[in-house]
Amino acid sequence: MKKSRTKFLVGAAAVACIALLVGVRTLYRYGGVVRQNDGRSAGESARRSAEQKGNASATATSTKKLVALTFDDGPYGTSTKQILDILKAKNVHATFFVLGMNVAKYPDEVRREIADGHLVGNHGYNHLQTYPTMSSSTFALDLLRTEEAIVSSTGAHPTWYRPPYGALSATMRQVLHDQGFRIALWNVDPEDWNYEKSSSTAIIRNVESHVRPDAIILMHDGRDTHINYPRDNTIRALPIIIDDLRARGYEFVTVDEIVK
Ligand SMILES: [Zn+2]
């Protein structure tokens, strides 16, 4: 498509505004100012600051059998709603790593994630495979764009980030650190993203054979990435996984209770 001069100027102005926001935000954090509109108490901010000094990817040792269910790539209309209904019925809190582009499409679903007590994290705007090769400024803009989508829908500021495909470059790690994000990967992947390979039975078997204390289980509620499978196998598997793991003594928590 041919770009008009007007479109170019509007685009350039938008990039300049975002760049200004990144600069202001960075100064704000480096200046040690606690943001007043982020809903966090001073204690929480202090804890977060202390946490940032540790290894964000390390896993805590716990005497409890903790497990975290995580859902990526959403929100996505009906599939997110069905997953939220199951979690509510089972009284489970989970973590949702959302895409900015899908938050913009489904703001009600991400609002409900927060209202239901789930943790919401940043998973990038467009789920690109090129994040690891981006410059720090381009990657920072993607983070900010996603954060702004979440903030405008929910008022909440995400402090957790999960890289698409688990791919992290040194540049990404530095930007995430500088922007105050913590990184949450996973250690159990039932491959529910692969719809043809992973029936609901296969997802259940995969989770139940790999689960261990402090497991972080990767699942998906969202779509519209280049892997655009239905989510009904995950939705069928979820209540059975919850019941079976509870019967084995596991307690469901959000990732911030496992990653220390
Ligand atoms: Zn993803």
Predicted confidence at residue 40, as pLDDT, reads 35
Predicted confidence at residue 46, as pLDDT, reads 34
From 72, 73, 142, 192, active-site residue: 72
From 142, 214, 220, 221, active-site residue: 220
**Can you tell me the distance from the alpha carbon of 77 to that of 102, in angstroms, rounded to the nearest whole number?**
9
Distance 187 CA to ligand 1 centre (A): 15
Distance 62 CA to ligand 1 centre (A): 28
Superfamily grouping for domain 34-257: Glycoside hydrolase/deacetylase (3.20.20.370)
Predicted confidence at residue 223, as pLDDT, reads 74
Instruction: For residue 95, list its beta bridge partners.
Output: 70, 119
- Burial code (b: 16+ CB inside 10 Å, e: under 16) for 99-137 equals bbbbbbebbebbbbbbeeebbbbbbbbbbbeebbebeee
> What pLDDT, in 10s, does the model give residues 210-225?
999 999 999 999 876 6
Predicted confidence at residue 90, as pLDDT, reads 98
Distance 136 CA to ligand 1 centre (A): 20
Distance 166 CA to ligand 1 centre (A): 8
Judge whether 72 counts as a catalytic residue.
yes
Count of other CB atoms within 10 angstroms of residue 46: 12
Residue 15 pLDDT more than 70?
Answer: no
Distance 164 CA to ligand 1 centre (A): 4
> What pLDDT, in 10s, does the model give residues 44-53?
333 333 333 3
**Average pLDDT score over the chain:** 81
Alpha-carbon dihedral sign for residues 228, 118, 54, 190: negative
Residue 82 pLDDT more than 60?
Answer: yes
Residue 230, CA distances (Å) to 65, 80, 153, 250 in order: 31, 11, 25, 28
Predicted confidence at residue 224, as pLDDT, reads 62
Distance 175 CA to ligand 1 centre (A): 19
> What pLDDT, in 10s, does the model give residues 122-174?
999 999 999 999 999 999 999 999 999 999 999 999 999 999 999 999 999 99
